[in-house]
Amino acid sequence: MDIVSTLGLIVTVVSTIACPIIAHNKGRSAIG
C-alpha cells in the first residue's frame, strides 16, 4: 500500500472512533 492510502485508512478509522467520543464528551450528537 502506498502512503496516501495508508494515511487515508488511518484517518478514517480514527475519525470513526473519535467523533462519537468527542461529541459525547461535549454533549452533542455526532455529525454524519
pLDDT (tens digit, 9 = 90+) per residue, 1-32? Answer: 799 999 999 999 998 998 888 777 776 654 54
Q: How many residues does the chain have?
A: 32
Q: How far apart are the first and last CA of the chain?
A: 28
Query: Distances from the Cα of 11 to the Cαs of 17, 27, 29, in angstroms?
Result: 10, 23, 20
pTM of the model: 0.52
The DSSP code for 32 is -
pLDDT of 31 = 56
Total domains present in the chain:
1
- Rg from Cα positions in the chain: 12
pLDDT of 10 = 94
- What is the extent of the structural domain holding 10? 1-32
